[in-house]
Structure 1
Amino acid sequence: MRIGLYPGTFDPLTVGHMDIIRRACRLVDRLVIGVAINHGKGPLFSLEERVEMVENECGPITEATGVEIIAHPFDNLLIDCAKDVGASVIVRGLRAVADFEYEFQMVGMNRALSDDVETVFLMADANHQAIASKLVKEIARLGGDVSKFVPPAIVPKLAEKVGNGT
């Protein structure tokens, strides 16, 4: 069984994340969504809320593809998380050249820690290249419409979190 790990903070889960998840399901038999605890980033949503968003939004993808998708919180090294879940592949989404520079460094460090896990990059769909969770949160904070950037069920959750209830 080929197991992939798609790590991120997912604060909030965006349509760009969902696109990468759908496409990653073509490559693996099980996809583990590694939800980073990442206290340093000061997430807007709690870990439990982020895991719940992933589980709720990925259920239909599992039904459509037959690929098991599991939300897995982690706060250790990415390479250790990959080993913990039995992943042989780390899936990363790339939006722009700036993403590549950071990811290139991460791949080098992860390979130095363990050469048993490969990293696969999926380019963001052209329609999703500008979407970043940080920008989505800022748009929501300023009362903007985020419905193009997050799954429908997340729109009211985001509005509630930033004090712009629907």
Structure 2
Amino acid sequence: MTTAVFPGSFDPVTWGHVDIATRARAMFSRVIVAVAHNTAKTPMLDVGARVELARRAVSPLEGVDVMPVDGLLVDFCREVGAGVIVKGLRGGTDYDYERPMALMNRSMTGIETVFITGDNALSHVASSFVRDIARHGGSISRYVPDGVVDAVSAAVAAEERERV
């Protein structure tokens, strides 16, 4: 039984994330969607909300779990017994960003990273675009699973209240 960890900030979770989790599950007996806090990013949604939304998004997928991760990803992988990290790639820029991390993770622990190329129909969907569209009043419903629109709308409203 091989456990794979699919990490990300999932701020918010998108159909692209669900696609990668689905295809990773076809390759590995267990997939853990690891909702992380990226210190280089300021999240729109708190970790609890991101975990809950990701859980709802992947709930139809047997063998896919969602857990928050704090600290080094490789330490989390060891804790859950994962032998592989899964990363979704939309294009070359993602690969250029992810490759050095994959090499570092392997050099630290021997854990390999498997890259899954995102579905072409979803390659333009990024959480950062979804947040930007929502902040400017656009509809994000076709890019995100059920429940995400309401959570993002509430977060945008909270941001607007803080600005006032």
Q: Shared fold by TM > 0.5?
A: yes
Query: Contact 1:38–1:75 at 8 Å: present in 2 too?
Result: no
Mapped partners of 2:124, 2:79: distance in 1: 32
Distance 1:92 1:39 in 2: 18
1:19-45: CA deviations, max 9, x gaps? 001111101111111110235412111
For 1:42 and 1:103, how far apart are their aligned partners in 2? Answer: 19
* AA in 1 matched with 2:99: F
Q: Helix, strand or coil: the match of 1:147?
A: coil
Structure 1 range deviating more: 35-44 or 135-144:
35-44
2:6–2:86 CA contact under 8 A, matched in 1: yes
How many residue pairs get aligned? The number is: 158
Q: How does 1:56-71 map to 2 (within 5 A)?
A: 56-62=56-62, 68-71=63-66
Look up the match of 2:16: 16
Which amino acid is the alignment partner of residue 69 of structure 1? V
Per the alignment, residue 104 of structure 2 pairs with 109
* Cα separation, 2, equivalents of 1:69 and 1:54: 10
RMSD: 1.4
Gaps of 5+ in 1: 63-67
- Which residue is 1:26 aligned to? 26
Corresponding residue number in structure 2 for 1:143: 137
Asked if the contact 1:8/1:36 (under 8 Å) is kept, the reply is yes
For 1:125, which of 113, 119, 125 is the aligned residue? 119
The structure 1 residue matched to 2:69, chosen from 68, 71, 74, is 74
Contact 1:20 1:124 in 2 (8 A): yes
Q: What fraction of aligned residue pairs are identical, expressed as a percent?
A: 39
Aligned to 2:85: 90
Give the TM-score, by structure 2 length. 0.91
Distance in 2 of aligned mates of 1:80 and 1:146: 34
Query: 2:57·2:146 contact (CA, 8 Å) conserved in 1?
Result: no
Q: Distance in 2 between matches of 1:151 and 1:131?
A: 13
In structure 2, the CA distance between the partners of 1:33 and 1:105, relative to structure 1 (3 Å rule), is same
